[in-house]
Amino acid sequence: MTIEFDDFLKVDIRVGRILEAEEFPEARRPAYKLKIDFGNDIGIKKTSAQITQNYTPDTLKNKLVAAVVNFPPKQIGPFMSEVLVLGFNDENGNITLISPDKESTPLGERLH
């Protein structure tokens, strides 16, 4: 399937820094609740992510991640998810997060 470039531009993918990561025991599949800072324009947003196989809450704290910030909020059990963090499957089918390789990437920077 092909899309037009203008369709791609509708997806707002930004860099954020994980401030908090905690267990999400109410989730159907093992997941963490994340609080992510996207800088002054977007602010702090919450999400959940099924990334417990490759990460611990301690390894997630302060990690830069890429996320879609313009999807509507989604109710996940008792939790409202506001953004979608992005990742790829590893060789075992577990998610590994997309992260800029430079720590100096400004929070809220848009994917180009």
Residue 19 banded pLDDT, cuts 50, 70, 90: very high
Report the pLDDT value the prediction gives residue 77, as an integer from 0 to 100.
87
Report the pLDDT value the prediction gives residue 112, as an integer from 0 to 100.
87
In a domain, 104, yes or no: no
Q: What percent of the chain has pLDDT over 70?
A: 100
In a domain, 5, yes or no: no
In a domain, 89, yes or no: yes
68 DSSP β-pair partners: 13, 84
**The two structure tokens encoding residue 33:** 């609740």
**pLDDT tens sequence across 88-110:** 999 999 999 999 999 999 999 99
In a domain, 38, yes or no: yes
CATH of the domain at 26: 2.40.50.140
- Please provide the average confidence, as pLDDT, over all residues in the chain: 96
In a domain, 48, yes or no: yes
Alpha-carbon torsion, ordered 25, 31, 37, 38, to 10 deg: -140
Tell me which residue range forms the domain holding 79: 12-97
Domain count, the chain: 1
Half-sphere exposure of 81 (CA within 13 A, CB side): 20
Q: What percent of the chain has pLDDT over 90?
A: 96
Whole-angstrom distance, CA of residue 58 vs CA of residue 109: 24
Report the pLDDT value the prediction gives residue 92, as an integer from 0 to 100.
97
In a domain, 63, yes or no: yes
Contact 56, 97 (CB under 8 A): no
Contact 34, 49 (CB under 8 A): yes
Q: Please count the other Cβ atoms lying within 10 Å of the Cβ belonging to residue 14.
A: 23
**The two structure tokens encoding residue 90:** 């590893």
**pLDDT tens sequence across 30-50:** 999 999 999 999 999 999 999
